[in-house]
Structures are given as C-alpha cells and as structure tokens.
Amino acid sequence: MNPTRGIEEYENDAPVLEKIAGNYPEESVEYLVLKKAAFALLWSLTQHHTEFKEYLANEEGGDLTPEQRQHLIDMGIDPDVDPDAKEIG
C-alpha cells in the first residue's frame, strides 16, 4: 500500500470530479453522487491503493456499451485516456 502515491493520484483526479460537479446545483442528486464518488476515490486510493490499482488494471478495456461511452464523453471524461499516462486536471 502506498498512501502517498494515492494522495497524489487523488489530487490529480479530484479536480475533474469537482469540475463535473460544478455543472449541477449542490442539492442535486448528480452533485451528491459525485461528492460520494470523490470520497470513495480518496478512500480507495489511500487505504487500498495497491488493490485498487490492480482492480483498475484488470478492468482496463472493460465492456462499456456505446451509450455508456457517449455518456462519459458528454460529461467531459474520455474513456480511452490512461490516467497513468498523463496528468489529469
């Protein structure tokens, strides 16, 4: 487990979630779910960094439907970007 690396990853990824959440009112379901996702990301990257990275590696190239891919793109997320290949944010 490497919590320091996990915190660095979270600091790179969190602004993306914050930017997306900024498109919704704070009382909306979307905003609250994105906030929950940010906490889950922080927890998984700091408490279970190795296991989380292994899970992501095993899920790489997962089976997104065309609709799921388009939904991510519409939210400003490129499903084909490798988060380890470049900095996000």
pLDDT digit string (tens) for 27-74?
999 999 999 988 888 888 887 777 777 766 666 556 667 887 788 788
Query: Is residue 89 pLDDT above 50, yes or no?
Result: no
Q: Which residues lie closer than 8 Å to 3 by C-beta, 6 or more apart?
A: 46, 47, 49
Global pTM reads: 0.55
Q: Provide the pLDDT for residue 24.
A: 94
Backbone φ and ψ for 88, nearest 5 degrees, come out as: -100, 140
Q: Provide the pLDDT for residue 31.
A: 92
Burial code (b: 16+ CB inside 10 Å, e: under 16) for 21-54 equals: beeeeeeeeebeebeeebeebbebbbeebeebbe
Both tokens assigned to 29? 């379901």
Query: Is residue 26 pLDDT above 90, yes or no?
Result: yes
Residue type, 39: F
Residue type, 31: Y
